């Protein structure tokens, strides 16, 4: 039958006009449009109980007016943006700065430090990483002989100015220690998951403890 | 029985007459108060209309955005309500350029000629028992005469700017507007047959049943023609942006462009007012809500339908537009007039139709309208636009002769 196509078109636009869930809405990043089941799951309640306890919100969710926060799931091996750095482990050897293909790590040390763990360690005055130019290859992490530098786990680090993207030593010290398990098999063997918010202390991240004198003598005796 | 909501010429006249009488102008108080009332009322009416047009642009953009799953203007003010004022300020502050080789007098006059008839129509619209500037006993004839000035104005704009796109757009506009005058006049004629009067107020009062119910076919013909007269989508070949730049207003800028757009956006308001008077019973309604409010509510419904159609349908080709005017619409208009004339000739007693007669007429007309529209769709739907077969490229066989 001719002529019904144009009337059908009118019906489609009217649906868009009337039904709120068909409207174009902008949700800011962590928010997500939630259906009732998702909403109940995020609140940790059985959907049926949720329907009776909060029917208004349930109906709102059915129309499509409720949002919940939802972040993207990611692997613990994810090479995140903010680096995790343990100043107790760092000796100031600057291997990371040497291995960085872009040369964006800047380390300034002085020799007045004391021996903290293995070998001679220096006091570190400047530790700058220019995240704006970093390509997250992870060579600095691979190069670190004392497991002091780890990839981080976050990715929501956008800034308004390039100068804010430079991570300095204070930021690195005060940041939460949530290292990624990338190139750190000792962490992945422990089933460490930084996304769930687990933090690791500086004495737990190393691939081995400091060898005792007995161990060392045994090792030397073998040679 | 004047409602306090609307301004009225006679009350203004009496007010000024009293004032001039007490001031001591006994001899000339009559013509002085007449002039003063006219000037002050037209000032109020024009400003009201322009302000409502500004708000209407916001309403139109927001509504169409909602239809088309967009957002619409939402930056200036709450819900983007200040957007029309920002637009106007921007347009006024822009440089007003006139092309070097343009016909300057025609170019300058065109926006004014386009705006004036649209403003004049509002004087005869009976929002209440009387209109803004007194009742006119040939109201609808006045409207038909005034609106045909539009085609001249559009042609002036295109011709004066000496631009190929503009002249193309205005040529199309002249052809289209002149063609659609005829179905529009046919739709109006069928209303006149039933009401038996040219005065807008009498037409509105004679609708014991709204004429949209009595003759849906006439309403369809009139609305289609009115939409073409407003030159809005799907009939906006005059200013088809994707083909002609911007059509007749390509060369306009600054305040002239603002006036052109004011006239263009004022047209739906005025048209919806005319449709309300002719087909939706004017200010009829039940009692607690006053008549002018009913009138404005009905206007909003008509505007909403216009926006609905505008946001849905694509633009027609120019040959399709002209074909639609002359083949189906003209035919349907003629059929509608014959139907109404025949029915009213049979049913009319002493030159008047009762409510029962109108009910019988609406029953017959609804059936005939649906049948007529389906027949029309089927006759014109089967016709396909036959394109010639594409000529195969000579490069298509390249290299095959070598093998």
**Cα radius of gyration (chain A):** 27
The confidence score (pLDDT) of residue A42 equals: 83
Q: Where are the beta strands (DSSP E) in chain A?
A: 31-33, 67-69, 80-85, 105-110, 123-130, 149-152, 166-167
Q: Does A11 touch chain B (CB under 8 A)?
A: no
Q: From the CA of A189, how many Å to the nearest CA of chain B?
A: 50
Would you say B260 and B111 are in contact if contact means Cβ atoms under 8 Å apart? yes
Residue that has been written with the tokens 């161990």 in this structure = A215
Spans of chain A below 70 pLDDT: 112-121, 208-211
- Residue A207 is predicted with a pLDDT of 80
Q: Over the stretch B225-249, which tens digit does the pLDDT of each residue have?
A: 999 888 888 888 888 777 787 888 8
Q: Is B381–A3 a contact, with Cβ atoms under 8 angstroms apart?
A: yes
| pLDDT tens-digit readout, B347-397 | 877 777 788 888 888 888 899 888 888 888 787 776 666 777 878 777 776
Q: What is the pLDDT of residue B302?
A: 92
User: In this structure, are residues B35 and B19 in contact, taking their beta carbons and an 8 Å threshold?
Assistant: no
The 3-state DSSP class for residue B197 equals: coil
**Strand, helix or coil at A172?**
helix
DSSP B353: -
Partner-chain contact A9 B312, CB within 8 Å: yes
Q: Which residues of A touch B312 (CB under 8 A)?
A: 6, 9-10, 12-13
DSSP helix/strand/coil, A81: strand
What confidence score (pLDDT) does residue B4 get?
A: 47
What's the confidence (pLDDT) of residue A16? 87
Find which of A6, A9, A13 to mutate to test the B interface (most B CBs within 10 Å of its CB).
A13
| pLDDT single digits (tens) A59-97 | 888 877 788 888 878 888 988 888 899 988 888 888 999
Residues 345-384 of B with CB under 8 A from A: 373-374, 376-378, 380-382
Averaged pLDDT, B8-18: 80
Give the mean pLDDT of B161-171.
Answer: 88
d(CA B223, CA A156): 55
A220 touches chain B (CB under 8 A): no
Q: How do A105-110 and A80-85 pair as beta strands? A: unpaired
Tell me whether residues B67 and A16 touch, CB distance under 8 A.
yes
Q: Are A114 and A101 in contact (CB under 8 A)?
A: no
Instruction: Tell if the CB–CB gap between B309 and A14 is shorter than 8 Å.
Output: no
Q: Are A206 and A146 in contact (CB under 8 A)?
A: yes
Cβ distance A188 to A178 under 8 Å? Answer: no
Q: Could you tell me which chain B residue has the CA closest to the CA of A16?
A: B67
Does the pLDDT of residue B308 top 70, yes or no? yes
Chain B positions touching A25 (Cβ under 8 A) are none
Average pLDDT score over chain B: 85
Contact B66 A1 (CB under 8 A): no
Mutate to test the interface with B, among A1, A2, A20, A26 (most CBs of B within 10 A): A2
Long-range CB pairs of A36-44 (<8 Å, 24+ gap) are A36/A61, A36/A62, A38/A68, A39/A66, A39/A68, A42/A68, A42/A70
pLDDT by residue (tens digit) across B58-95? 999 999 988 888 888 888 888 888 998 998 899 889 88
Q: Give the closest residue to B115 by CA, choosing from B158, B140, B150.
A: B150
How far apart, in whole angstroms, are the C-alpha atoms of residue B51 and residue A219? 93
Q: Establish whether the linkage from the previous residue to A163 is cis, with ω within 30° of 0.
A: no
What are the domain boundaries of chain B? 94-379
What is the structure's pLDDT at A120?
62
Kindly indicate the confidence band of residue B401, based on its pLDDT and cuts at 50, 70 and 90.
low
User: Cβ contacts of residue B95 below 8 Å, gap of 6+?
Assistant: B253, B254
Phi (first) and psi of residue B144, to 5 degrees: -60, -40
Question: Contact, B328 vs B378, CB < 8 A?
Answer: no
Contacts A14 to B, Cβ<8 Å: 67, 308
Q: Is residue A48 within 8 angstroms of chain B, CB to CB?
A: no
Closest residue in chain A to residue B378, using alpha carbons only: A2
Token couple for A191:
């089933």
How many angstroms separate the CA atoms of A127 and A141, rounded?
14
The tokens describing B119, both together, are 């403003």
Interchain proximity A24–B70, CB inside 8 Å = yes
User: B305 — contact with chain A (CB < 8 Å)?
Assistant: no
Confirm or reject contact between B304 and chain A (CB < 8 A).
no
pTM of the model: 0.70
B104 and chain A: CB distance < 8 Å anywhere? Answer: no
Distance, in Å, from the CA atom of A156 to the CA atom of A135, rounded to the nearest integer, reads 16
Mean pLDDT, residues B299-323 = 89
- B312:A2 CB<8 A: no
Chain A closest-CA separation from residue B248 CA (Å): 29
B281 by DSSP, 3-state: which? coil
Contact B313 A14 (CB under 8 A): no
CB-based contact A3 B67, cutoff 8 Å = no
Q: What tokens does B366 get?
A: 């609804």
* First and final C-alpha spacing in chain A: 95
Residue B345 has pLDDT above 60, yes or no: yes
Are B374 and A1 within 8 A, CB to CB?
yes
B70 touches chain A (CB under 8 A): yes
């Amino acid at each position: 039958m001719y002529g019904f196509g144009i009337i059908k078109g009118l019906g489609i636009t009217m649906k868009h006009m009337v039904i709120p869930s068909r409207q174009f809405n902008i949700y800011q990043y962590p928010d997500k449009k939630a259906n009732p089941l998702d909403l109940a799951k995020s609140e940790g309640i059985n959907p049926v109980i949720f329907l009776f306890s909060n029917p208004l919100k349930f109906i709102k969710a059915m129309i499509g007016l409720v949002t919940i926060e939802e972040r993207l799931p990611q692997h613990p091996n994810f090479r995140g943006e903010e680096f995790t750095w343990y100043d107790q482990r760092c000796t100031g050897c600057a291997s990371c700065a040497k291995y960085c293909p872009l040369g964006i790590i800047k380390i300034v040390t002085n020799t007045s430090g004391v021996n903290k763990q293995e070998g001679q360690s220096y006091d570190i005055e400047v530790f700058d990483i220019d995240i704006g130019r970093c390509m997250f290859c992870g060579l600095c992490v691979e190069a670190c002989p004392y497991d002091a530098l780890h990839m981080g786990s976050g990715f929501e680090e956008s800034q308004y100015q390039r100068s804010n993207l430079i991570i300095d030593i204070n930021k690195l010290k005060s940041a939460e220690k949530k290292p990624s398990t990338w190139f750190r098999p000792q962490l992945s063997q422990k089933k460490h998951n930084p996304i769930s918010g687990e933090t690791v202390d500086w004495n737990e991240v190393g691939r081995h403890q400091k060898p005792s004198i007995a161990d060392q003598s045994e090792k030397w005796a073998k040679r | 029985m004047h409602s306090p909501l609307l301004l009225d010429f006679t009350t203004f006249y009496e007010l000024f007459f009293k004032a001039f009488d007490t001031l001591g102008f006994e001899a000339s108080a009559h013509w002085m108060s007449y002039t003063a009332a006219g000037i002050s009322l037209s000032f109020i009416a024009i400003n009201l209309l322009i302000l409502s047009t500004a708000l209407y642009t916001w309403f139109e953009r927001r509504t169409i955005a909602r239809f088309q799953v967009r957002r619409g203007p939402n930056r200036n003010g709450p819900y983007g309500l200040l957007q029309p004022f920002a637009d106007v300020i921007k347009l006024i502050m822009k440089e007003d350029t006139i092309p070097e080789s343009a016909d300057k007098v025609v170019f300058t006059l065109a926006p004014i000629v386009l705006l004036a008839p649209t403003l004049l129509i509002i004087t005869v619209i009976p929002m209440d028992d009387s209109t803004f500037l007194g009742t006119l006993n040939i109201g609808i004839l006045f409207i038909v005469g005034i609106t045909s000035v539009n085609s001249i104005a559009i042609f002036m704009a295109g011709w004066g700017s000496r631009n190929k796109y503009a002249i193309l757009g205005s040529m199309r506009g002249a052809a289209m507007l002149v063609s659609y005058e005829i179905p529009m006049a046919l739709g109006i004629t069928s209303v006149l047959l039933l009401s038996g009067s040219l005065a807008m107020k009498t037409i509105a009062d004679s609708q014991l049943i709204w004429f949209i119910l009595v003759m849906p076919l006439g309403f369809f013909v009139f609305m289609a023609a009115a939409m073409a007269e407003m030159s809005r989508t799907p009939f906006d070949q005059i200013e088809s942006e994707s083909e002609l730049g911007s059509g007749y207003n390509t060369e306009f800028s600054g305040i002239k462009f603002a006036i052109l757009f004011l006239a263009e956006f004022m047209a739906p308001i005025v048209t919806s007012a005319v449709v309300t008077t002719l087909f939706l019973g004017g200010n009829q309604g039940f009692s607690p809500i006053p008549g002018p409010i009913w009138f404005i509510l009905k206007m909003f419904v008509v505007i909403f339908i216009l926006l609905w159609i505008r946001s849905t349908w694509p633009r027609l080709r120019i040959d399709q537009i002209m074909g639609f005017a002359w083949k189906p619409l003209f035919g349907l208009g003629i059929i509608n007039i014959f139907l109404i004339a025949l029915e009213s000739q049979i049913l009319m007693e002493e030159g008047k139709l009762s409510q029962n007669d109108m009910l019988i007429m609406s029953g017959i007309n609804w059936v005939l309208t649906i049948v007529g529209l389906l027949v029309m769709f089927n006759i014109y739907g089967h016709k396909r636009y036959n394109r010639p077969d594409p000529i195969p490229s000579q490069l298509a066989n390249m290299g095959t002769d070598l093998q």
